[in-house]
Every structure is written in C-alpha cells, then in structure tokens.
C-alpha cells in the first residue's frame, strides 16, 4: 500500500465508486460478500488498492494545502514542478488562530510587528504525490487556495 487506507467514513462516502471499482474487476455484490466472509485478507487488499487509486486521483489534482496551527499558518501552492510556501507566524501568545477571535485579531493586525512572513519553494522528490500526501498526514488540508492567493497579492513573493 502506497498511502493509507481510507477511513470508514471516506469509504462510505465513496460507496458508489467502490462498487464501480469492484465491477471493473468483474466482482459482483454476492462475490464481494463471499470474499469478505471467506477471504478477509483478499478483501483487505482490495480496500488497499481502492484507497491508493482514490489517493492518486486526489493528489494528482490538488493545488492548495493549508496547515493552520495556534500561532502559524503554512499555505502551500502545489505547482507542477515545486511546492511553494507562504508561512505566517503570529508572535502574540494571546492569539490563537484556531479560534474566531484569534483569526479576527489576525485579520485586523496582519501588518503588525507581531506577524512574520516567510516564503519558500521546494522541488518535489521523485514522487510529487507522496510529498503532497506527507503534508496531509502532518495535518494539512486541501483547500481552494483563497488564503494563499490573498497573501500572494499582499506580500512580495
């Protein structure tokens, strides 16, 4: 398995896609029930293969990731050749960016001396999707990139 198995909730959301996946292998609902009952290790392998296929599709299309913490925001733009980063650090211990009040403070004070910005770019390894997956496993979430694009306009990248 290249990535990780989808969660039960994710698999439930992708129920129709999983049925289509089984159909491409000529596995009927009855055969799938039999496989799960008699050969659970084969069922596990099928779930792993399906999970990897889904991850590959998602990672191949993702363009923006965000990792928000108490005092930082790491905003990623995933281009074809590299990962670009805008990192924001709030040096005010009273501010928690994870709360509406903290983020409100940030929106009013984003140009203050309490806020530091860093930009960087890094080439992918031999496996760009694995690089993206590792960021997700560390807590980054897929976004539309609104924050990244806003910062890109207001700071000199």
Instruction: Please check whether residues 50 and 96 belong to one and the same domain.
Output: no
Spatial distance between the Cα atoms of 96 and 37, rounded to a whole number of angstroms? 49
Instruction: Please check whether residues 108 and 90 belong to one and the same domain.
Output: yes
Q: Do the domain assignments include residue 109?
A: yes
Instruction: Please check whether residues 138 and 103 belong to one and the same domain.
Output: yes
Q: Do the domain assignments include residue 90?
A: yes
Instruction: Please check whether residues 76 and 23 belong to one and the same domain.
Output: no
Instruction: Please check whether residues 50 and 68 belong to one and the same domain.
Output: no
Spatial distance between the Cα atoms of 142 and 136, rounded to a whole number of angstroms? 8
Report pLDDT for 156.
62
Instruction: Please check whether residues 17 and 93 belong to one and the same domain.
Output: no
Structural domains of the chain, count? 2
Instruction: Please check whether residues 85 and 147 belong to one and the same domain.
Output: yes
In degrees and rounded to multiples of 5, residue 156 shows phi and psi of: -80, 100
Per residue in 76-92, pLDDT tens?
Answer: 999 999 999 999 999 99
Per residue in 91-150, pLDDT tens?
Answer: 999 999 989 999 999 989 998 999 999 999 999 999 999 999 999 999 999 999 999 999
Q: Are strands 115-123 and 82-90 parallel, antiparallel or unpaired?
A: antiparallel
Spatial distance between the Cα atoms of 47 and 53, rounded to a whole number of angstroms? 10
CA dihedral over 52, 54, 55, 57, signed as positive or negative? positive
The pTM score is 0.85
Instruction: Please check whether residues 84 and 19 belong to one and the same domain.
Output: no
Spatial distance between the Cα atoms of 79 and 77, rounded to a whole number of angstroms? 6
> Can you give the residue range of the structural domain that contains 20?
8-61
Spatial distance between the Cα atoms of 72 and 116, rounded to a whole number of angstroms? 9
């Amino acid at each position: 398995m290249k990535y990780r198995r989808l969660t039960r909730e994710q698999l439930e959301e992708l129920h129709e896609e999983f049925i289509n996946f089984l159909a491409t292998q000529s596995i009927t609902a009855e055969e799938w029930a039999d496989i799960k009952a008699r050969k659970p290790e084969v069922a596990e392998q099928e779930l792993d293969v399906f999970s990897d296929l889904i991850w590959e599709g998602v990672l191949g299309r993702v363009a923006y990731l965000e990792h928000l913490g108490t005092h930082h925001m790491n905003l990623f733009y995933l281009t074809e050749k590299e990962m670009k980063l805008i990192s924001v650090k709030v040096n005010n211990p009273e501010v928690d960016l994870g709360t509406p009040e903290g983020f409100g403070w940030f929106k009013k004070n984003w140009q203050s001396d309490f806020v530091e910005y860093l930009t960087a770019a890094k080439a992918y390894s031999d496996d760009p999707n694995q690089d993206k997956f590792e960021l997700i496993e560390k807590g980054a979430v897929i976004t539309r990139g609104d924050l990244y694009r806003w910062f890109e306009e207001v700071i000199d990248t």
